Structure 1
């Protein structure tokens, strides 16, 4: 492929060789948001287009709002890695990936800028229309790979995206003292928590024991939906927020 016209108006094109066909007739019906986790956007762009990296994304959004498309939306970019959502383990074949330039947790993790987020919103709106992506399938990389990834992290403004019609969102329940489930907890309350997380989409085992996988899923959930305190402990605020999200899903389907 020598070139292509961008799927999204205004996007620049820089072709990555790291892509292939979507597998088994699968189509994109999800959007996965990442941060680059590198020192500069230029370095991230070069890495995503380097055949030795074996990674890519459909889009990269720079700090100044510039959008670069590297893989056609019809194709399978290599951005999700080992992942799971609602039992689907090939999220690369089911999603469009957007890398957002940000140094990430290990290199300073700065706030996302206004121009950058406006560009992300515009891009997500376009992708959602082209691929009929439902709000609940606009996801964080950490949602689908909680054991490995923390991006785009607790500083990402999901509330602002939701105000523009992007993503599934409820106001987080207030944090207060009370009973909480943590690593080592066991019993029916843990099983109920795991069942709710799995129903929402997280890849957790329903065992009744608060294991590492449950801690990772709770941490990912908090980064996305209750970012004021990210500690992997399922306090009342976390559980109430999860219940409210599930209730909103049921209401939307009804």
Structure 2
């Protein structure tokens, strides 16, 4: 993370699709952690989300680099539940373990 004090990611690759502008007046009250079942870089997960109807606010790569893909003020499509999407920050991480994933 470029700056923990300012929550500034190492890289911003902001999606313009598969996310929703704003949060319909909802406040963030949770963080949801996911794994991408692969060892994807920021660019690779960005490319996946260009074609898949999913997204998350952040991606943490295996080397620890953090990228932001949806602004915190906007809604990522990551929980499969619209009310949860509206009130959460989604953090995706590279999972280099094998099936079953850790």
Structure 2 counterpart of 1:22: 23
Runs of 4+ aligned residues of structure 1 deviating over 4 Å after TM superposition are none
- In the alignment, the residues of structure 2 paired with residue 104 and residue 53 of structure 1 have an alpha-carbon distance, to the nearest angstrom, of 23
Find the partner of 1:93 among 83, 86, 96: 86
Distance in 2, matches of 1:105 and 1:26, equals: 37
Which residues of structure 1 form unaligned runs of 5+?
A: 1-6, 83-88, 110-154, 156-254
Q: TM-score, normalised by structure 2?
A: 0.77
Shift of 1:45: 3.5
Match of 2:95 in 1: 102
Q: Identify unmatched segments of 5+ residues in structure 2.
A: 1-5
SS in 2 for 1:99: strand
Q: Name the count of aligned residue pairs.
A: 93
Contact (CA 8 Å) 2:27, 2:87: kept in 1 or not? yes
* TM-score normalised according to structure 1 size: 0.34
Q: 1:61 to 1:90 in 2, by over 3 A?
A: same
Instruction: Return the structure number with greater strand share.
Output: 2
Q: What residue is the counterpart of 2:57 in the other structure?
A: 58
1:31 aligns with 31
Match of 1:77 in 2: 76
For residues 30 and 41 of structure 1, what CA distance do their matches in structure 2 show? 24
Which structure has the greater CA radius of gyration? 1
C-alpha change, 1:102 and 1:94, in structure 2 (3 Å) is: same
Contact kept, 8 Å, 1:36 with 1:104, in 2: the verdict is no
Alpha-carbon RMSD: 2.1
3-state SS of paired residue (1:32): strand
Quote the offset at 1:104 in angstroms.
6.0
